[in-house]
Structure 1
Amino acid sequence: MSSTSTHRVRGVELGLGLIGIGRPWPTPEAAVIPAEQARALLDRAIELGIRFFDTAAAYGRSEEVLGEYLGDLPAARREELVIATKCGEAWPAPEGAQPDHSLGALEKSFERSRRLLGRVDLLQLHKCTVDDLRDEQLLAWFEGLRTAGEVGAVGVSVSSEAALRAALDVAVFDTVQFPANSANAGFTTAFAEAERSHLPLLNRPMASGALAGTGNPFAFHTAAFRRAVVLTGTTRISHLEANAAAFASALEATTDQDL
């Protein structure tokens, strides 16, 4: 892997997904939290040792709110963080509309993200498909951004095992984001079988809430991966603190077993 921004991840770390600070989530009826509450959430995340933050152009005002927060951070603190965003999908979008992965749309999305965030450490293709991974112009565009130093790293976010397997056969990308939890281990198995060096970014660690109250969901991730970012999504500080404590407990238990 060539990127210095993702080289900072040396073990299994907890990251924070930021859809909830920019658009209604987890249901369309949910209220978007105020910017002051979002800033308090980000402050607490950093205090808890979280250094990886994942947003997207499709997350409503998330990039804008995060960018304003980052702009107020001391330069040294900003350098400690990895800011990941995604291009290729817009919100709101007409019902049934497909993500636009044309180069023109991707370029426009990236420029907006960079303007709002100030700097992009990791740019991912949102809802990447097998067909996207056969598009030589698309692959060259991502590789060109990294080579020119316009982004620190490039990756994809997938929602099918077929796309994950295809992405792992493409050397262009530094990271792959996919669902990983004990309720659906297929993606994790596919990643392990490929034996590639891509950094895995693991979303839906609690299977969209299905694993709540069923023990420590993070034990699955700390046992199955030696290097990864587990993305927890929440807008409540109390929930973030509980997740951080559970993650630390799982990581400690796994470390003890390895001794």
Structure 2
Amino acid sequence: MSRTTAQRVQGVELGLGLIGIGRPWPTPDAAVCTAEQAWTLLDRALELNIRFFDTAAAYGRSEAVLGEYLGNLPAVRREELLIATKCGETWPTPAGAQPDHSLVALEMSFERSHRLLGRIDLLQLHKCTVDDLRDDHLLAWFEGLRASGEVGAIGVSVSSEEALRAALDTAVFDTVQFPANSSKPDFTAAFAEAERSHLPLLNRPMASGALADTGNPFVFHTAAFQRAVVLTGTTQVSHLEANAAAFASAMAAATTDQDV
């Protein structure tokens, strides 16, 4: 996903996070879906016109399962999709261990992801910190991957407002992933204040389920963003269908409001 390809996301669209097809999620004792169940989920996602898929090296078997699925798609179909992954964290992670963002670890992670997924449209730094964004060698490594064409675009995934603001002040990256929902308005406000061109990738749209029964959570995203990918995470086809319907309803309402 080069800077040009990143512009293929012109409005707000729904994407699918794939942690649940590779490791226990959202709780440590959750069952991991089988490869057959994962393929059924991915098939349905394509039928629902979802084209953005977000995985990570830290998502267990997720990259391997997704890579096998992509390898069985017609080339023309694969070209329609945007495949994002992340480096910088592994799973399982020893208790108390911090993500390894050394260049050696990142290179090894990238090579594995590339082997499993084939072409990578977007490579993100998982759990990016302010210190990472001050590391010229790390920034140059990411820029080099993009310049060489080994990845289409580069981005970061952050979990603090401080890191979000620092990422937005760094002109290196194409995308920034962060939590965005009505219970975390400060992240969204920070993004709006920065007035940068980064494509926002919005995770935890339902606040890990806390907003599931509080109306349509996607109304928040369609009102707050002109251009973004909202990442829903699920392993259940019925849940995916419900989220897609709710997202479509929020988009329709936003369009109606704009026309009034």
State the TM-score, normalizing by the size of structure 1.
0.99
What secondary structure sits across from 2:138 in the alignment? helix
Q: Give the CA deviation at 1:2.
A: 5.3
Show the 5 A alignment for 1:136-215: 136-215=136-215
**2:155 partner letter:** G
Show the 5 A alignment for 1:97-112: 97-112=97-112
Query: 2:254 corresponds to which residue?
Result: 254
**1:164 partner letter:** L
Q: Distance in 2 between matches of 1:155 and 1:139?
A: 10
Q: Given that residues 5 and 122 in structure 1 are in contact (C-alpha distance below 8 angstroms), is that contact kept between their aligned partners in structure 2?
A: no
> Over residues 133-154 of structure 1, what are the superposed CA-to-partner deviations in whole Å (9 max), with x where a residue is unaligned?
0000000000010011110000
What secondary structure sits across from 1:214 in the alignment? coil
Q: Give the CA deviation at 1:4.
A: 3.1
Query: 2:125 corresponds to which residue?
Result: 125
Structure 1: unaligned runs, 5 residues or longer: none
What secondary structure sits across from 2:151 in the alignment? coil
Q: Give the CA deviation at 1:213.
A: 1.1
**2:132 partner letter:** D
The CA RMSD measured in Å over matched residues stands at 0.8
Q: Distance in 2 between matches of 1:42 and 1:164?
A: 30
> Over residues 75-115 of structure 1, what are the superposed CA-to-partner deviations in whole Å (9 max), with x where a residue is unaligned?
00000000000000000011010000000000000000000
Q: Give the CA deviation at 1:7.
A: 1.7
Q: Give the CA deviation at 1:6.
A: 1.7
**2:256 partner letter:** D
Q: Distance in 2 between matches of 1:151 and 1:3?
A: 11
> Percent same amino acid among aligned pairs?
82
Q: Given that residues 2 and 146 in structure 2 are in contact (C-alpha distance below 8 angstroms), is that contact kept between their aligned partners in structure 1?
A: no
Q: Given that residues 4 and 152 in structure 1 are in contact (C-alpha distance below 8 angstroms), is that contact kept between their aligned partners in structure 2?
A: no
Q: How many residues align?
A: 259
State the TM-score, normalizing by the size of structure 2.
0.99
What secondary structure sits across from 1:209 in the alignment? coil
